[in-house]
Amino acid sequence: MSRASSSAHFLHSDMDVIPFPKFATNAIHIGNEPERNGASHDLVTPISLAVTFGQIEPGVFKVHDYARGGNPTRDSVERSLAAAENAAHTVTFSSGTGALSAIMQLIGSGDEVVSMASLYGGTYTYFDNIATKNGIRIVYLDVTDADKLHHALSRNTRMVYLESPVNPSMRVIDIEAVVRSVKGYNKDIITVLDNSFTTPYFLRPLDLGVDISYQSVSKYMGGHADVMMGSASVNSEDLANRLKYLQNNMGAIPSPFDCYLILRSLKTLHIRMREHMKNGLLVAKFLERHPCVEKVNHPGLPSHPNYELFKKQSRGCSGIFSFYLSGGKTELFKFFRHLKIFTVAASFGGCESVCSFPTVMSHKGVQPKVLQAAGVTDNLARLSIGLEDVEDLMEDLDQALWSSGARKGYQQQQQQTSPTSTDSRRDRRGSQKIKIVNTQATQTGVAEVETPRFARRY
């Protein structure tokens, strides 16, 4: 397992981040090699639509025999994704849930999965309504509590399922510590981490000892809200072979065109993630000072309880975070209705900024007591900050927040705000100050924020 470098490298005030070595070069070239055997030497990987492939003689074929088992375009995207994950193998599926379904087929009836109590609503629904019907027992607990985790593991435990940051509470877990505890109990327990929020541009789970890095590729990896895909990346040859078998025989495969779209998107992942991170941090800091906001959950802010841990194990953060409105369900609905640039929608990771209401959208199938314990309440909103001009996003959120009727703490903020500063601007209601700076990196005025120094990992 890797350790954070003692000479930690970092996020500067211009919001630059030190990437994994050769990340951009590999994303652009691996899986996108010209077709050396073709007459045209294609620079862009061709889309192979063939369903079946000719055989040299019965039962003998060059690479593929039938497209469900493999396809040249799918081979390319799997090589590219594996390079991004620093994995030996990546297996792709038709959706994130398709990948999760295959991962769960690695275990069987009578086996146990130890899972975080707080996680994505779709995963929770799958566990409770599908996995349990197949005889798999799901044990939910706070995996950050070492004693609880140790006592939850048993001779029937076959898998430990993790998210970090957690959707939508944004809690961060110590991945290496959890893996160390699990493997110390039984090295054969499969550890799985959903890395859809962070992407391998900022975090590589396999480098931290995780067995399977699971992605909803539809999100940031695709990045344009126009393709669905899931992936499972591993270093184990045995796990890779089992997942390939499931991919073929379950039939949850991505189409050649979907594979092409992801190959295209991976070439710009490093650029997009930097912008998502920058915009996300700026908007989060803006909301943290807003009188209509009770609390902001963003692991890149010093106010986050797991801030130091997040800096240690991640190279940066995406544009996803959540916040509590100073109000209730009624005010939050009003907030959504008044948004003009943000779209109220499920999913995340696209170029467009979207806002969601977890208790009535992504987590509507989760039991109320589970939601309450996870801090997912009726005044919690989740934001996916896109690539628009950040000041436009802040202005949109500002007008929607004031239109929501949420006002808790407004007078106190007014009393604490100095009216004499010449180095700031007020919004039209005099609610808060946004200091304007010009950075060479962005060439535009942005709200000044304190940015974290992320660890450089090798």
Considering the candidates 74, 79, 219, 315, report the single residue annotated as catalytic. Answer: 219
As assigned by CATH, the class of the 270-447 domain is alpha beta
Give the pLDDT score at 408.
Answer: 60
Amino acid at 319: G
Of the candidates 16, 65, 68, 137, the residue annotated as catalytic is 68
* Residue 370 pLDDT greater than 80, yes or no: no
pLDDT score at 42: 85
Fold adopted by 23-266: Aspartate Aminotransferase; domain 2 (3.40.640)
Look at the chain and count its residues. 458
Model confidence over 315-341: pLDDT tens digits?
999 999 999 999 999 999 999 999 999
Residue 427 has pLDDT above 50, yes or no: no
When the pLDDT of each residue in the chain is averaged and rounded to a whole number, the result is: 86
Whether 434 has a pLDDT exceeding 60, the answer reads no
**pLDDT for res 308:** 95
CA distance 53 to 387: 42
- For residue 68, indicate whether it is catalytic: yes
pLDDT digits (tens, 9 = 90+) for 150-185: 889 999 999 999 999 998 899 999 999 999 999 999
Q: For residues 450 and 302, what is the distance between their CA atoms, to the nearest angstrom?
A: 8
- 198-226 tens-digit pLDDT: 999 999 999 999 999 999 999 999 999 99
pLDDT number for residue 421: 36
Q: Is the peptide bond before 358 cis (omega within 30 degrees of 0)?
A: no
Q: Where in the chain is the domain with CATH 3.40.640.10?
A: 23-266
Q: Are the beta carbons of 158 and 111 closer than 8 angstroms?
A: yes
Annotated active-site residue 120? The verdict is yes
CATH 3.90.1150.10 intervals, the chain = 270-447
Structure tokens at 256: 């050649």
Does the pLDDT value for residue 365 go beyond 80?
no
Annotation says 267 is catalytic: no
pTM above 0.75, yes or no: yes
* pLDDT value at 451 more than 70: no
Indicate which residue of 140, 158, 161, 194 is catalytic.
Answer: 194
- 144, burial (CB in 10 Å: exposed 0-12, middle 13-18, buried 19+): middle
Residue owning tokens 């290496």: 176
> So what's the pLDDT on residue 453?
53
Catalytic position from the list 74, 79, 120, 214: 120
Contacts of 115 (CB under 8 A, 6+ apart): 127, 138, 139, 140, 141, 160, 161, 162
**11 pairs with which residues across the strands?**
17
Average pLDDT over residues 232-242: 99
Give the CA-trace dihedral at 294, 340, 273, 176, to 10 degrees: 30
Q: How far apart are CA 201 and CA 199, in angstroms?
A: 5
> 322 forms bridges with which residues in the sheet?
297, 382
Residue 282 and residue 288: Cα distance in Å, rounded?
Answer: 10
Q: Has 22 been annotated as catalytic? A: no
Each residue of 25-69: pLDDT tens digit? 999 999 988 766 666 788 889 999 999 999 999 989 889 999 999
Check residue 174 and give left, alpha or beta (phi > 0: left; psi -120 to 50: alpha). Answer: beta
Q: What is the pLDDT of residue 413?
A: 46
> CA 21 from chain center: how many Å?
21
Look up residue 369 and give its amino acid.
Answer: K
